[in-house]
Amino acid sequence: MRIKAIILDLDNTLLDFLKMKRICCDAAIDAMIRAGLKMGKRQAITELDKIYKFNIEDGQIFQKFLLKVKKKIDYRILCCGINAYRRARFTSQRPYPYVKSTLKALKKRGYKLAILSDAPKLKAFLRLTAMDLQDYFDVIVTFDDTKARKPSRRAFSCVLEKLNVKPAECLMVGDWVERDILGAKKAGMMSCFAKYGSRSSKSDADFEIEDFRDLLKIV
């Protein structure tokens, strides 16, 4: 059956999310130390990572960090960290090479394009709009839409319903084997492993790409 729709993960598929997060956290810690946080940078990053391990999208991360390391929230230190994080995020949210040109080419070929992300809706749209990618997609489905994270069947069913296509007519592209690839397979979709954004070496996907523009060779 011919592929009619391409469903894309967002983080580490369209942008290097982990690199962005590290740049932003480094900037935040530097700013908090300058504002009076009595702590070495390496130790501070280690403690911050321990909190992030439980929820990479935690919107209260620096409050929790200060409560852990200082037993209280110093709002001068907190706000210096938050502002530095936001400034760094604005400049570091960039798509991988060839993302825009490839999306444009896929649209010209008539494919329906969708985002299926485990990120909250606001954060997903903030990333997409910061990269000026939002208008390439017919459908954008986030955790807030389904209350289920990949590989849940509910998440994949939601995007299929909104696209109005059958599972066999879809190609799912993502970097996370356990969520994106296995979830797509369970839903009956073709799968493509974004190897460039993953720490995994094996995927068992139908296709693997080393570069985002390699999608054009597949479809």
Quote the pTM value.
0.89
Is the CB of residue 22 less than 8 Å from the CB of residue 74? no
Q: Is residue 133 predicted with pLDDT exceeding 80?
A: yes
179-206 confidence digits (pLDDT tens):
999 999 999 999 999 999 998 878 999 9
Q: Is residue 81 predicted with pLDDT exceeding 70?
A: yes
DSSP string, the chain: ----EEEE--BTTTB-HHHHHHHHHHHHHHHHHHTT--S-HHHHHHHHHHHHTT-TT-TTHHHHHHHHHHSS--HHHHHHHHHHHHHHHHHH--BPTTHHHHHHHHHHTT-EEEEE-SS-HHHHHHHHHHTT-GGG-SEEE-HHHHS--TT-HHHHHHHHHHHT--GGGEEEEES-IIIIIHHHHHHT-EEEEEGGG-S-S----SEEESSGGGHHHH-
Q: Is residue 54 predicted with pLDDT exceeding 90?
A: no
Per-residue pLDDT at 1? 65
Grade residue 85 by pLDDT with cuts at 50, 70 and 90.
Answer: very high
The mean pLDDT value for 14-37 works out to 96
Which domains are delineated in the chain? 5-16+96-218 (3.40.50.1000), 18-92 (1.10.150.520)
Q: Is residue 154 predicted with pLDDT exceeding 80?
A: yes
